Structure 1
Amino acid sequence: MSISGSNTWLSGLFVLLVLLFTVSVAQARQEGSANSTVGGITTDEYHIGVDDMVQVEVWRNPELSVTVPVRPDGMISVPLIGDVSAGGRSAQDVARDIEQQLAEYVREPKVAVILTELRSHEFLSRVRVTGAVNRPVSLPYRQGMTVLDAVLEAGGVNDFAAAGRTRLYRKDNGGATRSLPVNLQRILRRGDLETNIEVQPGDVITVPERAL
């Protein structure tokens, strides 16, 4: 093989390797955004909420890449295409939607949507105490928090409470609500912690009033 032919072959191989590397980087970026976590939450299963911060990256088009908050109407603003619905959707769904709309202006756009701050999650994950307590409250969830912790934050039960019939309401993964019995009277008066359940994000604790 001549020297010029060898150089041509090596140049072609170099170009091929560069192309393969570029495609690999693009795929890794998108897969990384799809499977990333923020605050311990897997974002591929998370539904975007109001006030969440969303980073939109358009490959090879940095002028179209932005970091924006989700507005109260559930929309985000993206350069060139304007408003895009994001509230209640996954990051992957929003990315595909943006790709389809950008396709009118950009050739084969590749879009990654990354959640940088899950601000709405803090609201959704709060623990609420209602009913016959001295101060109904909505508390930020803390790991290890129990029913007793939450009730004490609410100032304890009032004089009209039927503490023995307290219930804890919890949504399962399918969206159905379960009702768990809590004998708050035994917890408070006897120190019986059998029903002092460890709460989960989104739980609602309700202390009913006694029948007069």
Structure 2
Amino acid sequence: MSWLMRCVSLLLLATMAAVSAQTPGVASSAAAPTSDDALYRIGVDDRVQVSVWRNPELSVTVPVRPDGRISVPLVGDVVAGGRAPHEVAADIEKQLATYVRDPKVAVILTELRSHEFISRVRVTGAVRQPVSIPYRQGMTVLDAVLQAGGITEFAAPDRTRLYRKEQGKAETVPVRLGAILRNGDLETNVDVKPGDVITIPERVL
């Protein structure tokens, strides 16, 4: 092969590689990168956006809980921690196929916050203002919820859960937040720890 032909061949290969390159942090199962080693692995407390094509009501932006999972409409809990975005997208597509014809899902990392995980407490769900607040010694579930502005009228406070990861194991602590707020019953008003995530679900209409 002549020197000129060899240069042309190399240029074509480089062009094809550039076209096929994937955008970091965004993936769907239809366009999975070829090398997982070079991908960012989703961490606890990272924030991800799950977009379902033509189904905006199924699209959500959620934090990764201490147990490494996210909650997706219809599907429920999906493991995200330690996985690449395209792997999570493929998993959601597979499970959504029961409800949606030929679903197309994209998982996008919107905030990389796992490195801050150990020093903050998060409150999510049916509260006035979801927050990420610095941990302080002696802080309780009620303290954290009040900093989030309290619960909304759509909340199911007695189904509140505190998610925590200790020694590599995920732990879920039930909290009867309604009893705390209505009756001053402090039995489940537990002290929080750095990295805890408190989730108040909405009631079923």
Q: TM-score scaled to structure 2, two decimals?
A: 0.43
Which protein shows a greater Rg? 1
